[in-house]
Amino acid sequence: MGFGDLKTPAGLQVLNDYLADKSYIEGYVPSQADVAVFEAVSGPPPADLCHALRWYNHIKSYEKEKASLPGVKKSLGKYGPASVEDTTGSGTADAKDDDDIDLFGSDDEEESEEAKRLREERLAQYESKKAKKPAVVAKSSILLDVKPWDDETDMTKLEECVRSIQADGLVWGSSKLVPVGYGIKKLQIQCVVEDDKVGTDMLEEQITAFEDYVQSMDVAAFNKI
């Protein structure tokens, strides 16, 4: 497992591909897994790696509270796609430290089959509990205007970056390009959000983070569903 060297373009490409259908390194909320990978990245990924850049900017917003995020930080090689070789060089040393942490109070150096089964059951129960939604969920339909810098901005890439933003309670809908003058067109895109999970401030923060393409974002329409 691993991402390779995250200080190289190849490593960042692996991270970008990994995050194409994920909001976080593990699970559905920011955790120590995100902190471990974030600290291995030397700076913001380039704009063409929109999934990695979206994730980087989002995790950066937790910088002051990263120590309180859930989970136990493991070595970098414990995260990422299984098909990529761990080149961090610290996997073996950190693995021993991880073995010393027993969430279920076992004194055995190696995890028994029973302990493994219990751990997997409890993780499944935890994920199931998080997946449950209330009977009535307040939702809103939002129409966003996303403006580029000029008429030379790649609007296809701009829309790809916007749609790369993923969050629990966010669903992207239809879109179109609307002329605003001087050959410039803005992206008008619809989305449906769960009010308790996604707000316009979060959308604006993540969309305008793609500063190579996006000049500004405005809410054109906001309707409760």
Q: What is the pLDDT of residue 99?
A: 46
Q: What is the pLDDT of residue 3?
A: 86
Q: What is the pLDDT of residue 1?
A: 66
Q: What is the pLDDT of residue 96?
A: 43
Cα–Cα distance measured from residue 77 to residue 85, given in angstroms and rounded to the nearest whole number: 8
Residue 178: give its domain's CATH number.
3.30.70.60
Residue numbers of the domain that contains 156: 139-224
- Whether residue 111 is contained in a domain is answered as no
Q: Which amino acid is at 185?
A: K
3-state secondary structure of 143: strand
Number of domains forming the structure of the chain:
2
Cα–Cα distance measured from residue 216 to residue 222, given in angstroms and rounded to the nearest whole number: 17
- Whether residue 123 is contained in a domain is answered as no
Residue 75: name the closest of 63, 88, 66, 85 by CA. Answer: 88
Q: Is 1 exposed, middle or buried (0-12, 13-18, 19+ CB in 10 A)?
A: middle
- Whether residue 90 is contained in a domain is answered as no
- Whether residue 15 is contained in a domain is answered as yes
Last residue of a domain, one of 61, 78, 95: 78
Q: What is the pLDDT of residue 130?
A: 67
Cα–Cα distance measured from residue 77 to residue 36, given in angstroms and rounded to the nearest whole number: 10
Give pTM, 2 decimals: 0.50
Tens place of pLDDT per residue across the chain (225 aa): 678 888 899 989 999 999 988 889 898 889 999 999 999 998 999 999 999 999 999 989 888 888 889 888 888 888 888 777 666 554 444 444 444 444 444 444 455 777 888 888 888 887 777 666 566 788 999 999 999 999 999 999 999 999 999 999 999 999 999 999 999 999 999 999 999 999 999 999 999 999 999 999 999 999 998
Cα–Cα distance measured from residue 139 to residue 153, given in angstroms and rounded to the nearest whole number: 32
Phi, psi of 5 (to 5 degrees): -85, 110
Residue 4: name the closest of 73, 80, 96 by CA. Answer: 80
The DSSP element (H or E) to which 186 belongs, if any, is: strand 184-194
Q: What is the pLDDT of residue 169?
A: 93
Q: What is the pLDDT of residue 103?
A: 47
Last residue of a domain, one of 30, 60, 78: 78
Q: What is the pLDDT of residue 91?
A: 42
- Whether residue 112 is contained in a domain is answered as no
- Whether residue 180 is contained in a domain is answered as yes
The DSSP element (H or E) to which 176 belongs, if any, is: strand 170-181
Relative to beta strand 214-224, strand 139-148 is antiparallel
